[in-house]
Structure 1
Amino acid sequence: VPPPSASGGPQQPAMLEPCGSRAGSELRELSRALDGFEHGRGRTTTDWQLLRKLAAVGLPVYPVAILQRCLPLLSAALVGHLGTTEALAAIGLCNVISNITGVSWLHGLSGAISTLSAQAWGAGSYRAVGVHLQRGFLILLCFADLPLIVLWLSCE
């Protein structure tokens, strides 16, 4: 648990700044701007400044999300050039099965973990964040990863 600050509340842990990137300083500026806005100290930034700060943090993630959504399309396009309709049907079926049994299952469980961790962080309970993450990793390993490995390896 972090030591208390001068105001008596828990001290915020320092954000890690990524190597060779401005993301850490931009996140700190954004955090300060939002903190002043939420706690009634008046609006320290205009809406456009806040939007620019949010865009500076969020826009680098956008191309990764788009490319991640294009992976099934890319694999279908590559297999489609083989010329057989059976291969294209197989890759389509494979994408559907992996999305139903793997991606959606893991995404749902990890979404629950991130929600609980965010609530604990917002409440200032930093120890609970670690507990939620450790339990979440254990749950994902036991109830998602290992059964999926067995399921996918048993397919013919």
Structure 2
Amino acid sequence: MCRNKEAKPVSSISDARLAGDDDGERRSGYEEPIHDQQGEGEPHVDEVGEELVLLGRIVWPIVITSFLLYSRSVVSMLFLGRLGGAELAGGSLAIAFANITGYSVLKGLAMGMEPICGQAFGARRWSVLAHTFQKTLLLLLLATIPISLLWLNMEPILLRLGQDAAITSVAKDYLLYSFPDLIAQAHLHPLRIFLRSQSHTKPLTLFAAFALLLHFPVNYLLASYLDCGVKGVALASSWNTISIDLGLVGFILRSENSIKPWAGLSRESIRGWWPLLALALPTAASVCLEWWWYEVMLLMCGRLPDPRAGVAAMGVLIQTTGLIYVLPASLGMGLSTRVGHELGANRPARARHAAL
């Protein structure tokens, strides 16, 4: 076994230099496996078993969490359907417009921080991890400004696209009361990646389960009992996201094992944007293209002879078929975390074996 005096992370971290991290934070003196030094060779059976255990510990909470978070939309569609056909169609149209113009953009931009944070954690460069979170949060909050302008003008936009006026009016009400959810999502997306990069996946599962349990009574209270209609369903979805946000912040405050995302908050936090943007912008484009084709089909249903039935049916179909993406997407997120850790620790062979 040989020892490295200083293990520098791969280019996406060393190029990052976006945090002004200290040399003392860099990992040193770790033992590098023999097959890493050779750059070739098959992993031992014990290493395969160890890797599966490590990957499983990260992935299974992500899978459960993804189902829980996805169930929120299913519950919302259920309550929209109980309100009536126009409400279901209008809510589906609003969700499609929000996904196209807002949520897909936020998710894609946030995913740009994932390779940086994963490698920074593997390299023990805590300031890079914290500063990347701070930059991504600021980036997403800035992105909500043009998104909000689009949401405020969604009614004339949808009418020019040939959507039914009655359905569009309902969609406008739903979207206006989804602004709290937009801001909460801008904070939740980078926070999830920040915690997942440290292999803290169980807290999100716990708080997502708690929020989903509350989602039923909150929807009933706002939409049915207080007779708020689609506005109540939108507010219930916003409260679901806000409650998860608050729970995760509370976990970070009380945890002794989690890095604080506001640690090292300084002038360095707003410098060195290019490494993050170089990853975030292409990722956002990729996510948007993946999401938009579904939502564009829903908009096309609004031009059918019976737009209320077409939009409502397509909205339910999208929510149902979306479940098939939960498992592979969760495996991908867990694998990305493992590979990032090994690359950051300067163990490329272990990263390759983890991917295989």
8 Å contact from structure 1 (residues 110, 136) kept in 2: yes
Q: Which residue of 1 aligns with 2:36?
A: 39
Q: Which runs of 5+ in 1 are unaligned?
A: 1-5, 14-31
Q: C-alpha distance in 1, partners of 2:58/2:151?
A: 37
Shift of 1:58: 1.7
Q: Which residue of 1 aligns with 2:5?
A: 8
Q: Which residue of 1 aligns with 2:133?
A: 133
Alpha-carbon RMSD: 3.4
| Alpha-carbon displacement from aligned partner over 1:108-144 (angstroms, at most 9, x marks no partner) | 11112223444556677665444443332222222x1
For the pair 1:62 / 2:77, whether they are aligned, the reply is: no
After TM superposition, the structure 1 = structure 2 runs for residues 1-156 of structure 1, keeping only pairs within 5 Å, are 7-10=4-7, 11-12=26-27, 36=33, 39-40=36-37, 43=44, 45-82=46-83, 84-118=84-118, 127-142=127-142, 144-153=143-152, 156=172
Paired residue type of 1:88: L
| Alpha-carbon displacement from aligned partner over 1:34-53 (angstroms, at most 9, x marks no partner) | x6476259748242342133
**How many residues of Structure 1 are paired with residues of Structure 2 in the alignment?**
129
Give me the TM-score of the superposition, normalised by structure 2: 0.31
Greater relative contact order structure (CA < 8 Å, 6+ sep): 2
| Alpha-carbon displacement from aligned partner over 1:5-56 (angstroms, at most 9, x marks no partner) | x84215439xxxxxxxxxxxxxxxxxx9xx6476259748242342133212
Q: C-alpha distance in 1, partners of 2:35/2:103?
A: 36
Pair 54,60 (structure 1): closer, same or farther in 2 beyond 3 Å: same
Q: C-alpha distance in 1, partners of 2:34/2:65?
A: 30
Shift of 1:73: 2.0
8 Å contact from structure 2 (residues 81, 87) kept in 1: yes
Q: Which runs of 5+ in 2 are unaligned?
A: 8-25, 155-171, 173-356
Paired residue type of 1:103: Y
Q: C-alpha distance in 1, partners of 2:34/2:61?
A: 25
8 Å contact from structure 1 (residues 80, 87) kept in 2: yes
8 Å contact from structure 2 (residues 120, 129) kept in 1: yes
| Alpha-carbon displacement from aligned partner over 1:77-132 (angstroms, at most 9, x marks no partner) | 111122x2101101111111111122100011111222344455667766544444
Q: C-alpha distance in 1, partners of 2:98/2:44?
A: 47
8 Å contact from structure 1 (residues 37, 43) kept in 2: no
Pair 123,50 (structure 1): closer, same or farther in 2 beyond 3 Å: closer
Larger relative helix fraction? 2
User: What percent identity do the matched residue pairs reach?
Assistant: 24
Q: Any idea what SS the aligned residue of 1:60 has?
A: helix
